[in-house]
Chain A
Amino acid sequence: MALLEVRGLVKRFLGVTAVDQVDLAVEPGELVSLIGPNGSGKTTLFNCVTGYLAADHGRVLFRGRDLTHVAPHRVARLGVARTFQQVSVFPRLSALENLLVFLQQHQEEHTLARLIRTPRLRRLEVEAVERARRLLDLVGLTDKADAAAGSLSYGQRKLLAFAAALMPDPDLLLLDEPAAAVNPTMINQMKSHILALHRQGKTVLLVEHNMEVVMDISQRVVVLDHGQKIAEGSPDAIRRDARVIEAYFGR
């Protein structure tokens, strides 16, 4: 059974059909890329999957469970993590705290227990801090742990948001343009991070405009244009697909 399944999804905004009858399935352990020209509906599709927008038609299934009318925080707790295209951090929390926020909600805990700070929670907190530090090491932000996230550079915030999404060890990772607007070194870094995740068996759905990244690492590519799925296949097949070439270079 597919880990994520999108069936006949439709989303309209005031006359614009941003997502138009899209079907999509991602198998466990797959690394799939979603590409398409600007405004083709990629981000909107993410928003429908993760509960930020209510789809007009169609269904979203995660492990066979219907996500169509589930709130964002519930989707997240089911094991779906996402990043935002507009890099998004908690500006007034430190980098370390930014990561900690992402873990605590997944560890079953009662408000009262948090008020009292039970020994179990203190232990979980220590483990969470350890995990957060490891992830900061991974993305090279070790020395920024105590800096307010708002004071980091654009690229650093992007890395921080990426690390935060990994914090709860999600089963499905939706990444919205992780390599956009950062320098070439960082693009390569991002690429190897994503590949490493893939090797660990994580399932990744990637939105990206950088074709080099997409073609290098994806197993399968899905192409949207004007909200419709116009092609789907291996990177090589997509590269030669006439409709894709038309969508990108035609007009």
Chain B
Amino acid sequence: MRRASALAFIVMVVAAPWLVAAAVPRQQRYVLHVLIFTVLFAALALSYDLVVGHVGSLSLAHPAFFGVGAYAAAILATRARWPFLADLLAAVLAAAVVAALVGVPLFRLTEHAFAVGTLGLALVASIVANNWVEVTRGPLCITGIPKPVLGLPGGPTLAVTTLPGYYWLALAALAAVVLLYRRLTTFRLGRAFHAVRDNEPLAGAAGIDPLKYRLLAFTIGAALAGGVGALYVHYLSVMCPEEMTVALTVNLLVIVFLGGVGSLRGVLVGAVLFTALPEVLRLAPTWRLVIYGGLLLLVVVRSPEGIESLLRRASGARAGR
């Protein structure tokens, strides 16, 4: 029964472009645009949750990795004319390398200092994006990023030019992220992550190297964020420094913490709620941030259990599986 409904849900998600065309033919383009954003944000939020939800490191540096991937792809695609799959791979690797390099010193910091250090890193990244004009063109943005063309050199190619095509591409990426997320957060690897998150000294006594697992989650999370960044700029065809501000962190925090930290379903629901809804309500970005901030505050301050109960609920779901 549950299998059947899950299958029906997947079929619906995959068939969404046709459903949208049938249901709201006039708004088809707009609705698909919102769906694409939702799917990309879901993938980004999952990559963030690997770090925040599963090894318990409250990193605020995620926009930096998203930005590294986005700029790597944008620059390689426009200046060096790299094919899509190559620049996607380069984006993933670039973000991973940056994360591994900064992760080693950052993870020597304790809780507060780690949060402050990662926020500092995000700010440095956005300062560089704004000022390293020779490479990023600064506030002028990198424009004219081509639509993705799938295929390997020599073989047949497939240009993704339509909105439904792009939607399926994003969906395929999300599916890959979901698969990887599940592989990482269950079985032996997942247990090691959770052990480090729950009780670091005890994890040491169990023979687990906490730094290794923190760094692993951080690097993989960053790599995936870089990949999403590449997909994002190929969709929008421009990349500007404003895409990597603290506002992005707040978006991700809202999705992850109000959706359900450390839980696949929670994060996906959060992504739908907090990406699609404000788009549909046509909220101005500033108002959206005010409301998000207010919501976060309200949950934390008002609800007697707040985020911690969400944490527990998420772990309860895990234990029950």
Contacts and interface: CB of A to CB of B under 8 A. Distances in A.
A and B touch in the complex (CB under 8 A): yes
Interface of A: 50-52, 71-73, 76-77, 81-82, 84, 88-94, 97, 100-102, 104-106, 109, 111, 114-115, 117, 121, 125, 146-148, 164-165, 168
Given A101-B191, A117-B187, A91 B198 contact: yes
Interface in B187-211: 187-189, 191-192, 194-195, 197-199, 201-210
Given A76-B206, A105-B208, A90 B187 contact: no
B205 A76 contact: yes
Interface string B205-246: 111111000001000000000000000000000000000000
A90 B207 contact: no
B319 A76 contact: no
A101 B315 contact: no
B198 A90 contact: yes
B184 interface: yes
Contacts of A109: 188
A163 to B, nearest CB: 12
A88 B187 contact: no
B316 interface: yes
B223 to A, nearest CB: 13
Contacts of A104: 188, 191-192
Contact of B184 (A89, A115, A168): A115
Nearest to A149: B198
B208 A73 contact: yes
B183 interface: yes
Given A94-B319, A104-B192, A115-B189, A73 B209 contact: yes
Contacts of B192: 101, 104-105
Contact of B191 (A100, A106, A147): A100
10 contacts: A73-B209, A90-B195, A90-B198, A92-B312, A92-B318, A100-B188, A104-B192, A111-B189, A115-B184, A148-B315
A148 B198 CA distance: 12
A229 to B, nearest CB: 25
A81 B187 CA distance: 23
Contacts of A72: 201, 204-205
Q: How would you classify the secondary structure of chain B's contact residues: helix, strand, loop or mixed?
A: helix
A104 B205 CA distance: 12
A157 B79 CA distance: 60
Given A52-B204, A71-B209, A148 B316 contact: yes
A97 B190 CA distance: 11
A100 B206 CA distance: 10
Interface string B285-321: 0000000000000000000000000001001101100
A165 B202 CA distance: 10
A97 B192 CA distance: 10
Contacts of B312: 92
Nearest to A115: B183
B31 to A, nearest CB: 36
Contact of B319 (A71, A84, A146, A165): A146
Nearest to B209: A73
Contacts of B205: 50, 72-73, 76, 81-82, 84, 88, 165
A37 B187 CA distance: 44
B196 to A, nearest CB: 9
Contacts of A114: 187-189
A111 B219 CA distance: 14
Contacts of A77: 207
A90 B199 contact: yes
A92 B209 CA distance: 19
Nearest to B199: A90
